[in-house]
Amino acid sequence: MKELNKIKQNVKGKIKKDISLKNYNTWKVGGNAEYFYEPDNLNDLTVFLNLVKDEQVTFLGNGSNVLIRDKGIKGFVVCLKNSLNNFSFDKEGIFTFEAGLSCMKIAQISARKNFSGLEFLCGIPGTLGGALRMNAGCYGGNIWENVNSVILINKSGDLINKSKKEFNIGYRNVNLDEDSFFVSASFSLKKNELRDSRDKIKNLLQHRRISQPTGLPSCGSVFKNPDNDSAGKILDSLGLKGYRIGGAYVSQKHANFIITEKSAKSDDVEKLISFIQDTVLKEKKILLETEVKFIGEKS
């Protein structure tokens, strides 16, 4: 890239070339980023995007809801995992979190301040930006329930303020232009007079450890739940627990989780997902949709 030196001279964040993305996603699979950038802060990100507005840009948070394909990602991968992690709050319960903060951290911060409403986020393995993009939820809560407003950034580095009512929010989906990305969100939370938010988080985490394969490489839930049904229960009923392709297999603990071994390729995971979808369609006449997003070039 001819302008790479110019870009490096004008931004504070780190820009690297040909970086493996295996350590930047929770499945620990996939190829390399052609260029990899971690912004120093939000202002640094705006400068960077303005400089690369004609290039392909892919945003990545904790990499918990994506399958990065084995041939990697062309252009720039912008990773927010180690940046955009500031927050603020006031006595009225208005909390503003940047998109790089993990959902777990957000649950803990609001609980420590004795405000309730976001305890359920402790069960979501991603960062705020990705959670907003897919309307992540668990334990009966969805992230957009308490959102007041958000700030987006477009591919030119322009910041855009939007209120919640400007979005069409559905189950595990939010309408969003492909060239726009969440950089922060404000939430309206209620004071927790019982001061039991940390106990709620502790109990939810205990339930998660019992019911889900925590500590193993996965993306969280792979498939959306069909109407009035559970994807995990459907797969269990078809005897798919333990089914494997290459280094990827369906968890014995929870069938809606796919686990990867060190030998796994991204292609193993993608083939396993397709096999599961085909099997469920054939046996149950149900088309399972994925929560996980596929990014990068196919082999």
Residues marked as catalytic: 172, 221, 291
Angle at 202 between CA 22 and CA 91, to 5 degrees: 95
Tokens of 184: 């922060």
- The contacts of residue 231 (CB under 8 Å, 6+ apart) are 221, 222, 223, 224, 225, 255, 256, 288
Cα Rg of the chain (Å, integer): 20
285 burial (CB, 10 Å; 0-12 / 13-18 / 19+) is exposed
Within the chain, residue ranges assigned H as helices are: 4-10, 42-51, 103-112, 128-134, 197-211, 231-237, 266-284
Contact (CB, 8 A) for 13 and 35: no
Among all chains, which residue has been given the structure tokens 């046996």?
A: 283
**Which of 191, 230, 186 has the alpha carbon at shortest distance from 211?**
230
Tokens of 140: 């009966």
**Number of other residues whose CB lies within 10 A of the CB of residue 64:** 21
